[in-house]
Amino acid sequence: MFEVRKFCVIRADATTQLGGGHIFRCLVLADALAAKGWTCVFATDERSVEIVPHLKDSGHGLLHLNCDEASETNAIKDAFPAGCDLLVVDHYLRDASFETALRSWAGMILVVEDLLDRQHVCDFILDQTHAERSTDKAASASNPIELIGHEFALLRPRFSRRRRTGGLPVRHFPPQRILIQVGASDISGLASPLVSLALKAFPNATLTVLLGSSSKSLPAMRQLSQLYDRQVDLQIDVRNVDELMSQADFMIGAGGSACWEACCMGLPMALVMAAENQQPVIDQLSHAGAAISLGSSEVFNHQGDVALLALTSLDSEKVSAMSANAARICDGLGVYRVLLALQPEIAADDVVVTLRSVRGSDGPLLLSWQSDPSTRRYFRDSTVPDAGTHYRWLANRLASDKGPFCIILCNNKPCGMIRLDRNYERDLSERFAAYEVSLIIAPDQRGKGLATAALRAASRLVDGADLVAHILAQNLSSVSAFTKAGFVPESSDWYRLKAQGDD
């Protein structure tokens, strides 16, 4: 018996005004879904392929919408009369009316949104830009599951893989290599002015400029590249941005979606607002100490001396702190968190098991679980921590870069904790290649298969990485749970789950 492939339709466009960001982040989701056996089709206009050439050879289907907005929903339904399992809408000009017309046609609707003033009819709303949304659910026709914050940023898996296997690189200051990242279209024509600014501020640095093949800035940048010969390297339609970011010491650019990629790589930034929707990103990164703001493109073009002063005022200590602050903002696992939300693990009695990141406010709950005698007796350190020790440990762990630290949710209620720490001692040949698992199920929730479901969810969260666990032989319930999740004995009291994914 064969398995029917699930089907996803993605409504997104790339435009010269907005650039290719909507298409790029949807490609990340489409690639992740395809890796799990889904078929994905982009419903878009022909301009999108011109602005994002990779869309054509991505392996996903294309439905060209050569019709007016009012006819779009009928065109989509006519093209796929059997409907779809998932409709993804990432479009500033499509809202509740569009989604309502396709509500019965789609099994689930996921809206990707970073504006705060629009209503939607959907099952999931993904906002990777804001830390929180003040959505008035009572005024909405749906009650969506909210995937809010930078932890859901849709980054290609190669970013998290590079961070996991290679660690975060040491950044030099003054910078030896600077990345100029203004988006594929460079809608504000920032590439050339930013190159000039960077050369004034750091005359000994080598610059790498990223542009799309459809950018109107290309002719001017080609001239600059030839003028400065080996000092300015122009890269067009590149796909190895993770490698270029790992090699750079600093990034100067626009406040678009590439900022989350830079955060994942711990790359400090100086940012210009090229479009109004970029201001919240720049504000958040500046407030977090991961970036400095160079103002809007209009201000920058008329007051370049202010930007130059901002760059030349930096020092090695501040840039090092910016790098660490950036790395804490985004771990690059957002697309896996979205997949977990779309297809959660199911335990006994149809209990839905999902994961959410631990917050500081979870401290009392975690302390109560860790203090339970039946839990503590199987720890390597069975001593129950006092409150002060616990909260200091929690604060340090939340500020660290060791790996995912999650509350296990059972039907959306906390029922345990799972922590993944990069394992140094057992993977010396491949530094950071595996995570060591620590797991607690609340005492009143044991015996329901929740541990096994949580382990499966965690392995999906770090797709492509091995998981290892230290389990005492007398801890029979844990041995059983881990074994059911696919872990196999490796050595005395150690178990391993080999990676199944390929990121």
Contact 241, 259 (CB under 8 A): no
> Quick check: is 502 in a domain?
no
Q: Report, as ranges of residue numbers, the positions in the chain whose pLDDT lies below 70.
A: 1-4, 133-141, 302, 424-433, 500-503
Residue 44 tokens read as 């878009």
102 & 221 share domain:
no
Residue 326 tokens read as 């950036």
Question: What pTM was computed for the model?
Answer: 0.92
163 & 287 share domain:
yes
> Quick check: is 335 in a domain?
no
| Domain CATH code at residue 232 | 3.40.50.2000
Q: To 5 degrees, how large is the angle CA 151–CA 157–CA 163?
A: 80
Distance CA 222, CA 227 (A): 9
Task: Write down the H helix ranges in 372-464.
Answer: 373-376, 387-398, 450-461
89 & 138 share domain:
yes
Last residue of some domain: 115, 148, 181? Answer: 148
Last residue of some domain: 329, 363, 391? Answer: 329
Model pLDDT for residues 185-228, shown as the tens digit of each residue: 888 889 999 999 999 999 999 999 999 888 889 999 999 999 99
Query: Cα separations (Å) of 230 from 180, 225, 234?
Result: 15, 8, 10
| Domain CATH code at residue 372 | 3.40.630.30
The boundaries of the domain holding residue 117 are 7-148
> Quick check: is 447 in a domain?
yes
Q: Which of 248, 237, 261, 150 is nearest to 186 (CA)?
A: 237
Rg (CA), the chain: 24
Query: Cα separations (Å) of 309 from 302, 312, 314, 366?
Result: 14, 5, 9, 47
415 & 437 share domain:
yes
> Quick check: is 30 in a domain?
yes
Model pLDDT for residues 424-451, shown as the tens digit of each residue: 554 444 444 689 999 999 999 999 999 9
168 & 309 share domain:
yes
167 & 314 share domain:
yes
pLDDT of residue 432: 44
> Quick check: is 42 in a domain?
yes
Q: Which of 161, 159, 191 is nearest to 178 (CA)?
A: 191
> Quick check: is 337 in a domain?
no
239 & 172 share domain:
yes
109 & 181 share domain:
no
Q: Is 398 exposed, middle or buried (0-12, 13-18, 19+ CB in 10 A)?
A: middle
Last residue of some domain: 82, 117, 148? Answer: 148
350 & 488 share domain:
yes
**Total count of domains within the chain:** 3
143 & 167 share domain:
no
| Domain CATH code at residue 54 | 3.40.50.11190
> Quick check: is 60 in a domain?
yes
Query: Cα separations (Å) of 39 from 54, 76, 384?
Result: 17, 16, 50
359 & 275 share domain:
no
> Quick check: is 248 in a domain?
yes
161 & 75 share domain:
no
